[in-house]
């Protein structure tokens, strides 16, 4: 990898990836429409001679094709990640996830870029049908989608695979993430809980009944995994040029555990107001726990536990309260 093209470069994971790639000597073109990305996350990168940021939208295929010229690897991270709010603007997942991914692939084809890493999600498993209380493997039973977000990521995965298995591109790496957290995290339950506790330290509103079991992964561990696998080139000589990896830690926590970690770290004992029910919102999955044997078999493993990742995230939010104002 000599010149990486990163969509969503100003986002949470994207900007961390950009910094890492630059540190490792890779030239980087960042692409972002700055709709939710923060240029401030790229403050360091923008000082680097090997980096350029192009402001553009994945729905603008001609501009995307031009911007991608010269790249030899695409990391496609740009997405609408607002899983909870899908039904208020159902076209958003279709456009920013499905159609955007199609455009990225078409831009690759136009430029002869042969390799891609794609951020998918454990949400594509819907509510795992066959193994409801065990970690979900990549080869789980054909899932039933439960959210527009999951459906749009599934559609993106299908497109990558069709391009790779038809030989239009050479290597497609699909990463099904659990929730990622860490530096530059700007949405999710730690973000919301911290905001609430700053505003009213004596009580905390919790979506659902608190028993939802979820998995999280620290962003630097996530990036380690992505770079580890794409550099090994596991899709190169495999039967399938599409390689799919669950990314997560080999553990899960309840929302109530997470509340305990956060309140403990902040020294607070708020009253907990649960909205009730076994899921936080329509389409929420009460149990997310991915089987990560496949990625671990490549030699990667996470450095931080979920608890450590949550605390790390909290510390970053405490030091970067500006993100609450910057968020659109």
Report the interface residues with a second copy, using CB under 8 A: 86-87, 90-91, 94, 98-99, 102, 106, 125-126, 129-130, 138-148, 150-152, 154-155, 157-159, 161-162, 165-168, 240, 242, 244, 282-283
Residue 76, classified by CB atoms within 10 Å of its CB into exposed (0-12), middle (13-18) or buried (19+), is buried
Ramachandran quadrant class, 38 (left: phi over 0; alpha: psi -120 to 50; beta: rest): beta
Angle at CA 190, nearest 5°, toward 328 and 204?
A: 100
- Output the smallest distance, CB 286 to a second copy, in A: 13
How distant, in Å, are the alpha carbons of 22, 70, 137, 243, 291 from that of 1? 12, 12, 29, 18, 28
**Smaller CB distance to a second copy: residue 57 or 157?**
157
Q: What's the token pair of residue 224?
A: 């380690």
**Smaller CB distance to a second copy: residue 117 or 150?**
150
Q: What is the DSSP letter of 270?
A: P
CA 57 – CA 59 distance, rounded (Å): 5
- Output the smallest distance, CB 4 to a second copy, in A: 24
- Output the smallest distance, CB 158 to a second copy, in A: 3
- Output the smallest distance, CB 104 to a second copy, in A: 12
CA 28 – CA 50 distance, rounded (Å): 6
SS (H, E, C) 7-74: ECCCCHHHHHHHHHHHHCCCEEEEEECCCCCCHHHHCCHHHCCCEEEEECCCCCHHHHHHHCCCCCEE
**Smaller CB distance to a second copy: residue 158 or 188?**
158
Q: What's the token pair of residue 86?
A: 């899908």
**Smaller CB distance to a second copy: residue 63 or 161?**
161
- Output the smallest distance, CB 141 to a second copy, in A: 4
**Smaller CB distance to a second copy: residue 113 or 159?**
159
Angle at CA 289, nearest 5°, toward 227 and 213?
A: 130
CA 156 – CA 174 distance, rounded (Å): 10
**Smaller CB distance to a second copy: residue 179 or 242?**
242
- Output the smallest distance, CB 161 to a second copy, in A: 4
- Output the smallest distance, CB 93 to a second copy, in A: 9
How distant, in Å, are the alpha carbons of 59, 175, 184 from that of 97? 10, 15, 21
**Smaller CB distance to a second copy: residue 4 or 169?**
169
- Output the smallest distance, CB 282 to a second copy, in A: 5
**Smaller CB distance to a second copy: residue 105 or 259?**
105
């Amino acid at each position: 990898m000599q010149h990486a093209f990163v969509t969503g470069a100003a986002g949470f994971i994207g900007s961390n990836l950009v910094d890492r790639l630059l540190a490792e000597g890779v030239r980087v073109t960042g692409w972002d429409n700055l709709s939710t990305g923060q240029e401030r996350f790229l403050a360091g990168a923008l000082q680097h001679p090997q980096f350029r940021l192009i402001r553009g939208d994945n729905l603008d295929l001609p501009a995307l094709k031009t911007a991608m010229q010269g790249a030899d690897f695409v990391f496609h991270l740009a997405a609408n990640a607002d899983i909870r709010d899908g039904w208020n603007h159902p076209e958003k997942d279709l456009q920013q996830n499905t159609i955007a991914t199609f455009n990225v692939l078409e831009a690759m084809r136009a430029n002869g870029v042969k390799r891609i890493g794609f951020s998918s999600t454990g949400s594509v498993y819907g509510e795992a049908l066959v193994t409801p209380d065990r970690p979900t493997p990549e080869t789980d039973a054909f899932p039933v989608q439960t959210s527009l977000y999951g459906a749009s990521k599934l559609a993106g995965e299908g497109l990558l695979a069709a391009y790779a298995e038809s030989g239009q591109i050479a290597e497609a790496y699909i990463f099904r993430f659990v929730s990622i957290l860490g530096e530059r995290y700007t949405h999710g339950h730690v973000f919301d809980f911290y905001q609430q506790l700053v505003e009213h330290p004596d009580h905390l509103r919790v979506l659902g009944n608190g028993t939802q079991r979820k998995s999280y992964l620290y962003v630097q561990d996530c990036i380690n995994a992505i770079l580890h696998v794409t550099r090994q080139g596991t899709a190169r000589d495999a039967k399938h040029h599409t390689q799919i990896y669950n990314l997560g830690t080999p553990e899960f926590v309840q929302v109530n555990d997470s509340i305990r970690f956060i309140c403990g770290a902040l020294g607070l004992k708020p009253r907990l107001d649960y909205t009730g029910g076994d899921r936080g919102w329509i389409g929420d999955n009460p149990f997310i726990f991915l089987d990560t044997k496949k990625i671990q078999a490549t030699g990667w493993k996470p450095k931080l536990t979920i608890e450590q990742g949550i605390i790390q995230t909290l510390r970053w939010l405490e030091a970067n309260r500006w993100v609450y104002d910057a968020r659109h």
